[in-house]
Structure 1
Amino acid sequence: MTSPRVLTVGTDGSPESLHAADWAAREALRRGLPLRLVHADATQRPAPRAPWDVDLPSRGVLDRAALHLSYSFPELEILARRRPPPPITALLDVAQESEFLVLGSRGFSGYSGFLVGSVALAVTARSLCPVVLVRAGGLPLDERTSDGSGFRPVVVGLDVTGPADELLSYAFEAAAVRGAPLHAVHAWTVPPLRAPLTGGPPTGDRLPGDAARRESERRRALSGAVRAWRGKYPDVPVVERLLYGQPGHHLLKASTNASLTVVGRRCDTNRLGGTTHSVVHHVTSPVAVVPHP
């Protein structure tokens, strides 16, 4: 039997998990999905006090989070589930029955971006569904343009040398439900021994190996990867950005003006690649990590 479509958020009563639950509630409403709150604890301990809290000291973490969301989002269907610990195993189990999973991360100002806890990092590296990491302290207005008229772009980082359909499917849908443009970013470099230049991309007449041809091939590959998804989502404006340099650096810059940053993770390994690891630790927008072949 097919499992119902549901968006899941992990909560432990911490401020970062409560911010993640608020973000997940808004996303569930945008997508027309129920929201499942999961707390991996066999006990019913009182939750820490939160800024929005009411005087309900006898309620546990899960009940208080569900109550808060029911008041803030009365039209949202909320499912509260307590799972036995350990939390990593519990979250990985519910991820198998979810459209995607949302977790919180502690945020800092400036360049530092996220501090990703060990549970969130382990789940993100092993989950079979996309995982969204939400920075504590983020506000709904942060996702909007400066005049508040619409959403900032969804940014997706692509490696056009491999499969990208899972990333593009998630990114186009995220842009569509927001009515936001999609920025498809691919960064490329040449092998270090053949790239003695600094300050910008090399040109064919200055570098052996025909860098101009390499750039043209990457540009065609980027356009080809995006083309079919443009047809499926004709209302989503798309900007293709081919950039020279390290992907992590360019995605960090692009994320400063993004409502959501989407990156990939290989399914055949239980770890994050270098670019994805850099992105989840440093960008300031929410980050979706999408598993792919």
Structure 2
Amino acid sequence: MTPHVTVGVDESPESLAAALWAAEEASLLDVPLHLIHTEEWPVTAEVPPLSAESLVERYETLLRATADRVRDDRPGLDVTTGMARGRAPAELTAAANEAEVTVLGSRGLGGVVGFLIGSVSLAVVGRARRPVVLVRSGAPPSGAGSGDAGPGIVLGVDIEQPCDPLLAFAFGEAARGDEELRIVHSWSPPPAYGYTAVPDPGVGSGPGRKVTEGLAEMVRPWRSKFPAVRVTEQAVVGPAAAA
């Protein structure tokens, strides 16, 4: 499939911020940008055909308006749009697995630590095999070329799974934008630690040391490839969002 950047579109301010960020990324990669909206409205007694058609028209209008805004911001960028019918997490994950990178809007952390507001974004991040970027409203553009260091990039990894595409993307973004890269792996100690007096099983313990060494080993080749990138590694006991 032709390389491209995908962005999920809805009616939120975060979605527009994600689209503009994705447009910048597509321009930097010199690939097309694909805007996608997923709609889950079945035609039932509760949602008659006329209502469903109205919703489709509404979201087609939204896609056109977002595409126009992106083209105004990035003249010459190849922008396409599309709608998918089905469960949003599944449809967006499928789209993400075909893209160089997928961009979604995010409202940040919810009231319960560890959960992102927006179950769709959370599901796609957890399932996609390709890089997924979450963008908040007001976020700076990708690879901003002002010469100032950016706010930093946070990458979540699982040391038990292959993460090379994610590491390549994150290091490349950090190098291009002169941003610090923080790589986080969350883990849970063995159940036995729940019955001991060890205050923090991640500090100096056998399991904690093994996790820290595994994270360092995963990152080491990428440090060598990108020696100018400022990198910190963090093995977190418990939810990664707490970091």
Question: Fold-level match, TM-score > 0.5?
Answer: yes
2: CA distance, partners of 1:24 / 1:40: 18
Which residue identity is paired with 1:151?
A: G
Q: Distance in 1 between matches of 2:67 and 2:32?
A: 13
The CA distance in 2 between the partners of 1:35 and 1:191, in whole Å, is: 44
Give the AA of the match of 1:80. Answer: T
Pick the aligned partner of 2:217 from 180, 201, 224.
224
Tell whether 2:1 aligns with 1:13. Answer: no
The residue that corresponds to 2:238 in the other structure is: 246
Deviation track 1:235-289 (CA, whole Å, cap 9, x = no partner) reads 322223355x3242xx433xxxxxxxxxxxxxxxxxxxxxxxxxxxxxxxxxxxx
Q: CA deviation at 1:105?
A: 3.6
Q: Residue 85 of structure 2 aligns with which residue?
A: 85
The aligned counterpart of 2:57 is 45
Shift in alpha-carbon separation, 1:127–1:140, aligned structure 2, 3 A = same
CA distance in 1, matches of 2:214, 2:24: 34
Which residue number in structure 1 is paired with residue 98 of structure 2? Answer: 97
The TM-score with structure 1 as length reference comes to 0.60
How far apart, CA to CA, are the structure 1 residues paired with 2:128 and 2:158?
Answer: 20
Q: Decide whether aligned partners of structure 1 residues 191 and 234 sit closer, same or farther in structure 2, where only a CA change above 3 A counts.
A: same
Question: What residue number does 1:116 align with?
Answer: 118
Q: Give structure 2 stretches of 5+ with no counterpart.
A: 40-51
The offset of 1:227, in angstroms, is 1.5
Partner amino acid, structure 1, of 2:218: A
Percent identity between matched residues is: 35
Uncovered stretches (5+) of structure 1, i.e. residues with no partner? 48-58, 204-210, 254-293
The structure-2 alpha-carbon separation of the partners of 1:83 and 1:168, relative to structure 1 and needing over 3 Å to count, comes to same
CA distance in 1, matches of 2:17, 2:226: 30
Residue of structure 1 equivalent to 2:27: 29
Q: Could you tell me which amino acid in structure 1 is paired with residue 232 of structure 2?
A: V
Matched to 2:75, the amino acid is: P
Deviations 1:182-203 (A, max 9, x none): 2233455643434423368555
**2:186 aligned with 1:178:** no
Using the size of structure 2 for normalisation, the TM-score is: 0.70
2:182–2:234 contact (8 Å) kept in structure 1: yes
Q: CA separation in 1, counterparts of 2:221 and 2:7?
A: 31
- Find the aligned partners of 1:230 and 1:4 in 2 and give their Cα distance: 30
When residues 221 and 71 of structure 1 are mapped into structure 2, their CA distance, relative to the original with a 3 A threshold, is: same
**Which consecutive segments of 4 or more residues in structure 1 shift more than 6 A?**
108-113
After superposition, where does 1:1-293 map in structure 2 within 5 Å? 3-40=1-38, 45-46=57-58, 60-74=61-75, 77-86=77-86, 88=88, 90-106=91-107, 114-117=116-119, 119-135=120-136, 137-140=137-140, 149-187=148-186, 190-194=189-193, 195-198=196-199, 211=205, 213-242=206-235, 245-248=237-240, 251-253=241-243
Contact 1:62 1:80 in 2 (8 A): no
Q: Are residues 216 and 110 of structure 1, via their aligned partners in 2, closer, same or farther at CA, if it must alter by over 3 Å?
A: closer
Aligned partner of 2:49 in structure 1 is none
C-alpha displacement at 1:14, in angstroms?
A: 3.5
Deviation at 1:9, TM superposition (A): 0.9
Aligned residue pairs total 223
**Any conservation in 2 of the 1:31–1:177 contact (CA below 8 Å)?**
no
Change in 2 beyond 3 A, CA 1:105/1:225: closer
Counterpart secondary structure, 1:60: helix
Cα 1:71/1:199, change in 2 over 3 Å:
same
Contact 1:66–1:78 (8 Å) recurs in 2: no
> Higher helix share goes to which structure?
2
Whole-angstrom distance in 2 between the partners of 1:85 and 1:235: 44
Structure 1 residues 199 and 148, CA, compared in 2 at 3 Å: closer, same or farther? Answer: farther
The DSSP-based 3-state class of the residue aligned with 2:82 is strand
User: Are the aligned partners of 2:130 and 2:165 in contact in 1 as well (CA < 8 Å)?
Assistant: no
Instruction: From the superposition, tell whether residues 45 and 106 of structure 1 become closer, same or farther in structure 2 (CA, over 3 Å).
Output: farther
Cα 1:202/1:35, change in 2 over 3 Å = closer
Q: In the alignment, residue 18 of structure 2 is paired with which amino acid? A: A
Q: CA RMSD in A?
A: 3.7
